[in-house]
Structure 1
Amino acid sequence: MIKVQCPAKVNLFLEVTGRRPDGYHRLATLFAKINLYDVVELETAPSGVHLEVCGDDAGGALGAGPDNLVWRAAQAFLKSFRVDGGVRLRLVKRIPMGAGLGGGSSDAAGTLLGMAKLFAVPLGREKKSLLRSLAVSLGADVPFFMQSAPFCLGTGIGDRLKPIQVGKSLPYMVLAYPSLHVATPDVYRALVKPSRAVVLTRLSHLDRLIRSLERGRPVEEWEGLLFNRLEEAGLPVLAQVEQARKVLARLGLRGARMSGSGSSVFAFAKSHGEAEAALGRLKGYPWKVFVTCCNG
């Protein structure tokens, strides 16, 4: 049996730079993997794809068939690599669903990588290219989770990636999930397109943020550069996200932002002790709350 840890992510920065003719939005985003994981377990089977889903965040809402990205990733791998046999998978969910943390995309990436290992597929240039094309077909965030780099600049639809080397580990993070499922297409539809001048200004902030992280500067110097354009989408559910941001800020946490299309909110603490203290003070809210940190 092979076990693959599938990390969540946050978007330290996310700007919408345009829209393609096919309806996908062009982005400039800074991905960061965090120490919150799902687990995918894989073992060979005589034929087909057999998936079991369990864990606190499965909740019966996540199917174990073609609607599940793990199932689809495994099926696509078997077909594309012409594998003689099948696979039995077990997905243990811990990353909240519909939270902007990339759990489904990470699970898909972990499945592709696990399948390559399980069936001992030598990943030369041609097969790496095939694996990447499968990743892109499964979702715009999946290629990021195929990368070993913990931080990446993402452009295009988020699938064009440039690893970022941070100069110093980022502080501990408090992550709050208001238990509100947000549908990504709804967020993009509700977003008012910013002007080109506004976008260019924000992209200059992204450049400054990356330079600050590469130089290992303290959070006080770059917290004001964190940004997520999707917070501005006029959806009623995002009002509760804004409330979560304000609560984290009142606790003295820094740089509170929504991750992806929501509804999770993250903020940085000065120390592990401060993060744990904030966790205790948040127990009165109907949220799932984690203390975590970036992988790099």
Structure 2
Amino acid sequence: MTDASIYHATSPEAEFGDYVALLKPRVMSLVVFTAFVGLIVAPGSLHPLVAFCSILFIAIGGGASGALNMWYDADIDAVMRRTKSRPIPAGRVSGAEALGLGLALSGLSVMMLGLAANWFAAGFLAFTIFFYVVVYTIWLKRLTPQNIVIGGAAGSFPPMIGWACVTGGISVESLLMFALIFFWTPPHFWALALFTKEDYNNAGVPMLTVTHGRQATRRHIFVYTLVLAPFAIWLGLTSIGGPFYLAVALVLNVLFIWNGWQVMRRSDAQSFADGHKAEKSFFKLSLYYLFLHFAALLVQHWISM
């Protein structure tokens, strides 16, 4: 890693929005939503204030992970087109500031979640931050093309943490919510990598598209759509599932597999000729795929009340 402290703030004063950007608000929104669903569908209940504080502290923990990720990856972000305008490589925030913010928010979020909900959930949040920053960002990201597969676990923990805030433990249902995100993550990010390959190549990140090529990546995407579908359907057969969720899951997984098949059948020549149309379409579908599954769990919960 290039020492992120070499990125010094060159503007007169960093704006509040720059510090918000360090927390990766778009990623945080996924953390908040899936954790909220896990908390709501869990058996039992929390006082509304405790529930609100639990989600808030999980969100802060997610933001802390984002800040620490940006601190460590500042050298990579500086050479990738889609990340070079981030606060550290753009010179608006120093690496030391990002590191300090990330560490402070990590400690705050874990301590406060323990006080608000329970210490099992707090420990789970601490492990999630550690996994994302140390296991994924520092260790795996620059080491193996399986980086996003293993590292994707960090983004899969939030619904389990939400569930643990209510129950103080883990269950088949929370594990299946984890599996839904875990097996969704690789095809989602590999689809993005198909039309941003040069970014990862220039940054020296061994994404699958760089190490094995686009054709192998397309095959991996399709295989993961097949692996993912049974877990999505199985979730509908548990205590938090039901007819509405199952109907939504069946439609979404047929679409996901079909679009994955379309991506796999394409050649590089076809992809470049139409501006990666199918790959971008699959990537967009993947965003709706995850959101709609968790939204369907919420609706199913309210129907079943």
**Structure-1-length-normalised TM-score:** 0.32
Q: Which has the higher helix share?
A: 2
* TM-score, normalising length: structure 2: 0.31
Report 1 or 2 for greater relative contact order, CA contacts < 8 Å, sequence distance ≥ 6.
Answer: 1
